[in-house]
Structure 1
Amino acid sequence: MKTTEKIIDMLKKQGELTAKTLASELGLTTMGVRQHMQALENAGDVVYKDKKAARGRPTRFWSLTPQTNSYFADGHEELTVQLIESVKTIFGDNGLEKLIEHREQASLKQYRQVLDKKSDLFSKLKALAEIRSEEGYMATVTQENNIYWLIEDHCPICAAASHCLNFCRSELNQFQLLLKQHAQVSREEHIIKGARRCAYKVIPNKR
């Protein structure tokens, strides 16, 4: 297995990692790993996120982009599409919409149990990003002046969403409902439409 393939495999299994950690596990120098990471970044296979360290410079963590999904076999994608088609065949489009609505309500209940404990918008967004990351969306929150961005670098339901865009509509609707008392939410980048990630623009309500 090539070194770049080993790196992708490690990031897939362990999540975001530093060049130092990758070097230690692969038996390479940190400089050598950084060269591989640069090549992978140029190819669109990885992205990085700098996190504040207790001392010194921020620590750079690397993670995979959704583009690398094609490198891994996923039998669940075909099953997901088959299940969607079965629901449509047996219950019609209305039945599929009810399934999506049920999923949306269940997620809303779960999210609210966490977000309701947070008082300000930023804390709510951070909590939401943590939940979404646990679900496989690789979510982060950034701020530009008075505007927040909820970024999701991965879509674990991509196969379902590609086959039925109402899954994506449902997810945007969830965010809008969860934060409606605090902000306006819109999706500015969309993986299904060819973007590298899904990016949600969050504009705080005027007081």
Structure 2
Amino acid sequence: MNQETDVSTRRVILTMLKTKGALSVGDMSKQLGITEMAVRRHLNTLERDNLIESKLVRQAMGRPSHLYSLTPVADDLFPKKYQHLALDLLEELEASLGESNVNLLFERRKERLIGRYGERMKDKLFDGRVQELAEIQNANGYMVELEPTEDGGYLLKEYNCPISQVANQYNHACQCELAMFQRLLGPEAEVERTECLAKGGGKCTYAIRPNQ
């Protein structure tokens, strides 16, 4: 069995567990048409990747059986339409209360994020703060690459934007991200956005330089 087939089979197992709930190895073996040994091999890989978990269930008759189900990590693999909901709500807010109130919402979110991450910047110098900011954005799904520059600064490149559909329609979200970076990095840093996904760029790029 080649690697592509293995990956396809594991996807089928994840979909089965999503649609049918907890299943035993025997259940999966029958539905997939493969041996229980082959099913266990796939389950071992999925457990290693923290995508499934097992629970021992005692039967009225016979030996206890392990039932397998998805973990919260696996649930993130399935399509979500949160951005459509967010856009619908923002459009309703704009229609009812005006664009200024939508912008105020983004400002409040920015302040909340600064409050959440500000402690992580304490007692750090310029390089440490930039590294910490890259780690924060990476953890939030922005696929960050940090590139040192000859002037002692960095290019922080974000190849993914989790709120891209929102930012495409409400550019104030991008302005708030820039302002958040500046606040978290402090007066020792100068931050400039030189490329933006929401404006047709291939990524969001921030030039971060030490303030002389």
TM-score bracket relative to the smaller structure = 0.5 to 0.7
CA contact (8 A) 1:80 1:159 kept: no
Q: Percent identity?
A: 29
Cα pair 2:121 2:185 within 8 Å, conserved? no
1:102 aligns with 2:108: yes
Q: How does 1:120-159 map to 2 (within 5 A)?
A: 120-145=125-150, 146-159=152-165
Query: Which of 175, 178, 191 is the matching residue for 2:184?
Result: 178
Task: Classify the secondary structure of the residue corresponding to 2:98.
Answer: helix
Structure 2 partner of 1:163: 169
Distance across 1 between alignment mates of 2:186 and 2:132: 16
- Cα deviation for residue 198 of structure 1 reads 0.6
Unaligned 5+ segments in structure 2 are 12-41, 43-77
Matched to 2:149, the amino acid is: E
Note the residue ranges of structure 1 that are not aligned, 5 or more in a row: 11-24, 26-71
Q: What's the CA shift for 1:74?
A: 4.2
Match of 1:199, as an amino acid?
T
- 1:139-185 deviations in whole A, cap 9, x for unaligned? 23220212211111110010110110000011011112222421110
Structure 1: which 4+ aligned runs deviate by more than 4 Å? Answer: none
Deviation, 1:93, is 1.4
SS of equivalent residue, structure 2 residue 142: coil
Q: Equivalent residue for 1:195?
A: 201
User: Which residue pairs with 1:204 in the alignment?
Assistant: 210
CA distance, structure 2, for counterparts of residue 140 and residue 125 of structure 1: 12
Q: State how 1:1-12 maps to structure 2 within 5 Å.
A: none
| Aligned CA-pair RMSD | 2.4
CA contact (8 A) 1:148 1:201 kept: yes
Is the contact between residue 168 and residue 199 of structure 2 (CA under 8 Å) also seen in structure 1? no
For the residue of structure 2 that corresponds to 1:126, the secondary structure is helix
Distance 2:123 2:143 in 1: 22
C-alpha displacement at 1:205, in angstroms?
1.2
Alignment length (residue pairs):
141
For the residues of structure 2 that align with 1:124 and 1:170, how far apart are their CA atoms?
A: 18
AA aligned to 1:190 is C
Change (3 A) 1:111 1:140: farther
1:81–1:160 CA contact under 8 A, matched in 2: yes
Partner secondary structure for residue 136 of structure 1: coil
Whichever residue aligns with residue 194 of structure 1, its letter is G
Work out the CA distance in 2 between the residues paired with 1:189 and 1:159. 17
TM value normalised by structure 2: 0.60
